[in-house]
């Protein structure tokens, strides 16, 4: 942007109560300014923070919205949307700014849906994960100029991978990827979506596999497959056309407008598998337009197509059951295992530093087992209703009793050797070596052919 334009920007974006955000592609500076102004005008329900900087030093701004925007509150799930990870897939950043407007407008107008959503949920919005790529992008619908970060790295291939034999880039993390990994450590996110373009489909984990029991037919299925299919359908069916399953440039149609990531095309180092496997955050990848850089005059219609689904998806953070694990002295315990029978997650879900757990589950009867060092494991059966309509998951605390046996005998229920749930092992490249190398070579070809679609 030229200096004179930068000077007049503040005038263009002067806040006024009745102002509406223009439907156009705002520069990174304009987005930052917009977020600052929204934050200044709504200090009671917004909080602006940065999770780090891009390779070229641009801030990765996040706006948090909710009744408790500055910090976690007990029982309030953390939700996030991330857009523009591929710099030339730009619709998501426009939609997320419009979503901020919509949430604040609904809240200020006392609309029930907005009050209930903002009271029950903390919503984090990262409009651009790759601002450097955005600056380098051209407006082509299909090509990939601007896809990568400034170092030429595809950020959606740069995360640690639970299945890959070798970690991408010798385990070197790009600044933008490291910022997201650090972000995931600061909050226990429960549900997330990652907004892309170049196709029209909701894609869910796994994106990768290594020939183990997760591979079913041509798909790579997670223990929470039922929940992921539901989440993807909530998006595709609330979207005006995604559920029709039309393909864009892809030859294969997507039934219901959803797909298993691996079944579409396998990829290693993706963000959604990382969120799910290591951070117990269920993430889906939303492909929101056939054209990666839609003409600006189509933006109002594209927002209308996605408005309902973006809101309905957030509400799904209230699926399942949530609560705390209390130790024998009644103190919330961090790092307790909370396992659902029949769901052997690669890294078992644990309580966070507040002693809380959140477990997205479809309605039904479930058996949960909680274990903590020096305490007796506790198994309870819960009837889980459909939470989203009432904006809360089932609340259930587990009260543990001290183990009668000596502490050394208290062990985790089912230790799982692979993969290591310790990030640093993977960063060093010395982690568990999964089998299926031959398959990986074959898949590598497919990945190479398909790597530029989304
Ligand atoms: C919303 O409700 C609050 C509190 O009851 C009230 O002060 C405010 O004027 C209402 N706003 C609108 C737009 O009705
Ligand atoms: C939209 O999502 C809601 C969940 O929020 C779901 O109950 C509803 O069935 C969806 N609408 C359609 C048309 O599928
Ligand atoms: C992870 O593994 C590294 C290397 O073996 C070790 O130094 C570190 O303490 C481990 N971290 C945790 C949380 O276990
Ligand atoms: Zn993409």
Asked if residue 162 lies in contact with residue 255, where contact means CB atoms within 8 angstroms, the answer is no
Residue from 113, 116, 235, 238 to probe ligand 2 pocket by mutation (most atoms less than 8 Å from CB): 238
* Rounded (10°) CA dihedral 366, 284, 220, 432: -90
CA distance 1 to 290: 28
Q: What is the pLDDT of residues 204-219, one digit of tens each?
A: 999 999 888 888 999 9
* Alpha carbon of 17 to ligand 1 centroid (Å): 14
Confirm or reject: Cβ of 312 under 6 Å from ligand 2.
Answer: yes
CA distance 38 to 110: 18
Burial of 411 (0-12, 13-18, 19+ CB in 10 A): exposed
User: In this predicted structure, what is the pLDDT of residue 406?
Assistant: 62
| Residues that are catalytic | 287
Predicted TM-score of the model (pTM): 0.88
Low-confidence winner among 19-23, 265-269, 407-411 (lowest mean pLDDT): 407-411
Q: Is 237 in the pocket of ligand 2 (CB under 6 A)?
A: yes
Ligand 1 neighbour 112 (Cβ under 6 A): no
**pLDDT tens digits, 265-300:** 999 999 999 999 999 999 999 999 999 999 999 999
What is the predicted pLDDT for the residue at 415? 44
Confidence (pLDDT) at 353: 93
335 close to ligand 3 (CB < 6 Angstrom): no
Peptide bond into 340 cis (omega under 30): no
Question: How does pLDDT run across 101-147, given as a tens digit for each residue?
Answer: 999 999 999 999 999 999 999 999 999 999 999 999 999 999 889 99
Q: Is the separation of the CB atoms in 63 and 38 below 8 Å?
A: yes
Q: Whose CA is nearest to atom 3 of ligand 1?
A: 110
In ligand 3, the atom with minimum distance to the C-alpha of 423 is 1
pLDDT band for position 168 (50/70/90)? low
Looking at the predicted structure, is the pLDDT value of residue 307 above 70? Answer: yes
| pLDDT tens sequence across 77-111 | 999 999 999 999 999 999 999 999 999 999 999 99
Measured by CA distance, the residue closest to atom 14 of ligand 3 is 422
Q: Which domains are present in the chain?
A: 10-318 (3.40.630.10), 321-453 (2.60.40.1120)
**DSSP-assigned states of every residue in 48-92:** EEEEEE-TT--EEEEEEESSS-SS--TT--EEEEEE-SSTT--HH
Atom of ligand 1 nearest to the CA of 110: 1
The residue contributing the CA closest to ligand 3 atom 10 is 422
φ, ψ (nearest 5 deg) of residue 390: -100, 10
Q: What angle do CA 122, 78, 400 make, to 5 degrees?
A: 125
Q: Whose CA is nearest to atom 8 of ligand 3?
A: 424
Q: Which residue has the higher pLDDT, 25 or 20?
A: 25
Query: DSSP 3-state assignment of 378?
Result: strand
Ligand 4 ion: Cβ-proximal residues, 5 Å cutoff: 86, 89, 196, 454
């Amino acid at each position: 942007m030229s200096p004179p334009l930068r000077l007049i920007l503040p005038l263009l974006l002067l806040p006024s109560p009745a102002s509406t955000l223009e439907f156009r592609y705002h520069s990174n500076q304009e987005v930052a300014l917009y977020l600052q102004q929204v934050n200044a005008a709504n200090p009671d329900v917004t909080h602006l923070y940065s999770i780090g900087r891009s390779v070229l030093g641009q801030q990765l701004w996040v706006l948090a919205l909710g009744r408790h925007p500055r910090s976690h509150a007990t029982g309030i799930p953390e939700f996030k949307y991330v857009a523009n990870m591929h710099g030339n897939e730009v619709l998501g950043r426009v939609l997320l700014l419009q979503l901020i407007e919509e949430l604040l407008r609904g809240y200020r107008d006392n609309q029930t849906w907005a009050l209930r959503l903002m009271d029950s949920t903390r919503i984090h919005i990262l409009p651009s994960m790759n601002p450097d790529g955005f600056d380098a992008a051209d407006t082509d619908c299909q090509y990939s100029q601007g896809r990568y970060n400034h170092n030429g790295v595809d950020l959606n291939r740069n995360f640690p991978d639970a299945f890959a034999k070798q970690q991408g880039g010798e385990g070197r993390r790009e600044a933008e990827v490291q910022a997201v990994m650090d972000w995931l450590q600061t909050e226990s996110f429960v549900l997330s979506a990652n907004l892309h373009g170049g196709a029209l489909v909701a894609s869910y984990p796994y994106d990768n596999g290594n020939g183990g029991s997760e591979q079913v037919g041509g798909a790579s299925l997670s223990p929470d497959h039922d929940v992921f299919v539901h989440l993807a359908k909530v998006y595709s069916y609330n979207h005006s056309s995604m559920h029709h399953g039309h393909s864009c440039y892809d030859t294969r149609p997507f039934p219901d407008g959803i797909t298993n990531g691996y079944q579409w095309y396998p990829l290693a180092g993706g963000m959604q598998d990382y969120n799910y496997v290591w951070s117990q955050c269920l993430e889906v990848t939303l492909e929101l337009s056939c054209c990666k850089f839609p003409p600006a005059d189509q933006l109002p219609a594209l927002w209308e197509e996605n408005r309902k689904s973006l809101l309905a998806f957030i509400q799904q953070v209230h699926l399942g059951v949530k609560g705390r694990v209390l130790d024998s002295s009644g103190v919330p315990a961090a790092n307790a295992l909370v396992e659902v029978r029949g769901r052997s997650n690669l890294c078992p879900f644990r309580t966070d530093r507040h002693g809380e757990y959140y477990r997205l589950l479809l309605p039904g009867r479930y058996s949960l087992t909680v274990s903590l060092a020096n305490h007796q494991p506790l198994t309870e059966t819960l009837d889980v209703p459909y939470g989203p309509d009432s904006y809360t998951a089932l609340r259930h605390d587990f009260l543990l009793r001290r183990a009668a046996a000596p502490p050394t005998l208290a062990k985790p229920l089912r230790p799982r050797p692979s993969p290591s749930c310790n990030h640093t092992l993977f960063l060093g490249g010395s982690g568990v070596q999964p089998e299926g190398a031959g398959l990986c070579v074959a898949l590598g070809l497919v990945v190479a052919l398909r790597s530029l679609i989304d």
